[in-house]
Amino acid sequence: MANKPSYQRDTQSVMQDQKTTADGLSSQEAQDRLNQYGPNALAAKKKKTLLGRFLDQFKDFMIIVLLVAALVAGVVVHEWADAAIILAVVLLNAVFGVFQESKAEQAIESLQAMTSPNANVRRDGKVVVVPSSEVVPGDIILLEAGDVVPADLRLIESANLQIEESALTGESVPVNKQIDTIDEEAGIGDRTNMAFMSTNVTYGRGLGVVTGTGMQTEVGHIASMLDNQKEMQTPLQANLAKLGRALTVLILVIAAIVFVVGLAKGSEDPANMFLTAISLAVAAIPEGLPAIVTIILALGTQKMAKQNALVRRLPAVETLGSTEIIASDKTGTLTQNKMTVEQTYYDGELHPATEGVADDSRLLQIMSFANDTNEQDDGTLLGDPTETALVAFAKLHDFDYLAELQQTPRVAEVPFDSERKLMSTIHDLGNGQFLVATKGAPDELLRVSSKIDQHGTVRDLTESDRDNILGTNHQLATQALRVLGMAYQIVDQVPVDVNPMSVEQELTFAGLVAMIDPERPEVRQSVEEAKRAGIRPLMITGDHRDTAQAISERLGIITPGEDHAVITGRELDQISDEDFANSVQDYSVYARVAPEHKVRIVNAWQGQGKVVAMTGDGVNDAPALKAADIGIAMGVTGTEVAKGASDMILADDNFSTIVDAVRAGRKVFANITKSIQYLLSANLGEVLTLFMMTMIGWDILAPVHILWINLVTDTLPAIALGVEHTERGIMQQKPRGRNSSFLSGGVGTAIIWQGLLEGALTLGVYWLAITFPVHTSSAAMHADALTMAYVTLGLIQLFHAFNVKSLHGSLFSMHVWNNKAFNWAIGVAALALAVTVVVPGFNGLFHVTTLNALQWGMVAGAGILMILVVEIVKFFQRRVLKVKI
């Protein structure tokens, strides 16, 4: 018996197991148990020191490459300014990483903040108030409306007790609690004889024995999952790490070849050849890439923030663009988290909520009278969501229920009971008669009804009437609607003993009211757009199967009748991880799930190589939000725990904002790709130029030339490419997925041939300069040639920046000048390059000569030729190879 969970055992057995009585623990026993079990608080891993977090940031492979580049630039090449810039970039990334790493601890702290500060506990036979941190297993806890449950409890008394558990289970309606044993295995949402830590009592009162405290509670279980969940490496981080490794290998191989060949040719001494190899390595390393990526992501987050998507972690921007699965919580995310009347049934017919209710029907009166909703001065309705929905519906249709209640005051009531599933109130009509207003479960209401009101006329209730009412109830229930029946009776006096037997008899049936937590009106369109973008939306909810299926059909997540696409948490428990991994693509809707199910679902899709985004708002969503490639929390209804575990927060809780964010993420990735294409093709052009100059035996560009070109042509244009406008058709493309990279989709090929073209054009200008010299002196001729090669290599990169505005689209079909930041970047970079040649005093510093008009024309011609050749290749790709733009 002791091995069974508490909800499967009777109250006496649980009390015996906890070694407690109805009088509670003694003060001494409570202290002993506090020493044994520890405080009733959530624990987290030991925090890393600030220094430890900072040092961890330098384990990244690309960061190591940058540190080597800084060492080379400073110690070997003596370009300390460049070395300082590189080190500044590294330190900036490290500081940013330290800041972001704290989010898991913040999530745990948010969980701790949700717990109740105090608890009403029975000790030594008396009720005392103690800090919730001092609650221990075996304590007897008293619960009343407004309380936060301080620990996990097995209920031993329940008087109309209702507890709102949406943050834990995802259900939008408070749960009616009872004390009976549940014989079968049940999920959290079905354990109606339990109360869980950090949930809220909304109605009634209860008594429970503590069965778990701190990390032994359901919230503690979530905290443990959250604390132990590993961080997923984003596609951006994986791509950059892969790119860094590939570049390093390439750099080392080429530098070694240049060094060995140079020594073998005997044209240079070992020191000079070593300096040449180092210069080539500096040319090849895109040292500004991490900073440029960070800046592009930051600019993307600023724009997204204006669209109500608040990004907490920069790589999440790019991850959105590669998302293939959006696993969305239902309540508050896909739906409005607000019960709303959708249909009514009276006079033998169904009526939409917009139609209102006929004047001769008592429906509005009954739903407003048999109701405990309170209205604030500002019009806000407080109470059970179902009851507030009824009052809101009555007010919407001009029924002044407050005025009616003043004229027809409540004089007695029979409160709702979960066994009989009815509630009745008695009102003084002022004419010596009294109105009994009753609402509740339709089948139970019909059991105590003998008449029916149709078109204002009361007649006997027939079997045909009963069949029609029950058939309509079933029809509405299959649409995931919560149905309540309304009935009344006119009596001459209030019973002496007001109880169900004396009040709820011979009632007159008035009608049915069907409610639902409705879907957000914009979500269906967003779901359709996501599907067109190749993204598969999933619904994950704590609600019942029928509700989940009906809502998902209404949203277009599944097609009507697609029952096989729906699975419950209990069914999921019966499937092994291996079988689930093989069948996960069969399911789009997950109902009645627990927190560990959500993590399992996310992990299963990730096991299929998919990039998964998880949306949610509750505590129960936090582990899955952290496990997902990108966790998206709701900003309005979301708990602080969910926000702390997320990568992005929706300020407006609007599902369509996610689609906008995906579009922004795709744009950011496309722009990062453009920057990388620009940087790597430029660097390849530099490497080829130096390599071929060494192989041919020409004078080679000095380290100062390469470093200055990198400084003025890499940074500003690359950043400006990061704010290019969105290309058309970006949301009609399939997601890139986890295995794609910055070099896929033809980008890698473009980098290679365009880099080779840059190098070839630069070498061509050098060859022209020495073949058709302006000066007769050999030294002057080679000085001019080197200067022209230097200017060409820099200027040609600026021309090429226009090419990479689109991978395959023609430059002449675009709005070339619509990016003001890009225009300024090109202008400033060109000016900085020209200054080193045309401004007196810089010539000696940069080892260059002054060029004449013809020489400048040759340099400019190479830049124009760069654009023309690329345009011809793009034309061939579009027309012959049928490459889509």
Q: How is residue 543 written in tokens?
A: 């609600």
Residue carrying structure tokens 């960061």 = 63
Between CA 468 and CA 483 the distance in angstroms is 14
Strand 566-568 with 589-591, pairing: parallel
Between CA 208 and CA 203 the distance in angstroms is 15
Between CA 199 and CA 840 the distance in angstroms is 76
Longest dimension (CA), the chain: 126
Identify the CA nearest to 65 among candidates 256, 234, 282. Answer: 282
Between CA 241 and CA 234 the distance in angstroms is 11
Q: Would you say 212 and 220 are in contact if contact means Cβ atoms under 8 Å apart?
A: yes
| Kind plus residue range of the DSSP H or E element containing 631 | strand 630-634
Q: How is residue 114 written in tokens?
A: 């949700």
At residue 821, what are phi and psi to the nearest 5 degrees? -60, -40
* Residue type for position 788: M
Q: Which residues pair with 449 in a beta bridge?
A: 507
Q: Would you say 487 and 450 are in contact if contact means Cβ atoms under 8 Å apart?
A: no
Which sign, positive or negative, has the C-alpha torsion 650, 656, 659, 663? negative
Q: Which residues pair with 141 in a beta bridge?
A: 121, 208
Instruction: Tell me, yes or no, if 417 is annotated catalytic.
Output: no
No. of helices (H) and no. of strands (E), the chain: 33, 26
Q: How is residue 691 written in tokens?
A: 């390599």
DSSP labels, 184-237: S---GGG-TTEE-TT-EEEEEEEEEEEEE-GGGSHHHHHHHHHHHPPPPPPHHH
Q: Would you say 21 and 15 are in contact if contact means Cβ atoms under 8 Å apart?
A: yes
Neighbours of 871 (CB within 10 A): 14
Q: Which residues pair with 438 in a beta bridge?
A: 424, 487
Strand 194-195 with 152-164, pairing: antiparallel
User: Quick one: CA torsion of 842, 845, 848, 854, rounded to 10 degrees?
Assistant: -10
Q: How is residue 310 written in tokens?
A: 């608040």
| Kind plus residue range of the DSSP H or E element containing 537 | strand 536-540
Between CA 172 and CA 174 the distance in angstroms is 7
Identify the CA nearest to 659 among candidates 531, 472, 838. Answer: 531
Between CA 544 and CA 549 the distance in angstroms is 9
Q: Would you say 579 and 706 are in contact if contact means Cβ atoms under 8 Å apart?
A: no
Between CA 59 and CA 66 the distance in angstroms is 12
| Kind plus residue range of the DSSP H or E element containing 718 | helix 715-721
Between CA 188 and CA 165 the distance in angstroms is 10
Catalytic residue among 139, 152, 227, 329: 329
Active site residues: 329
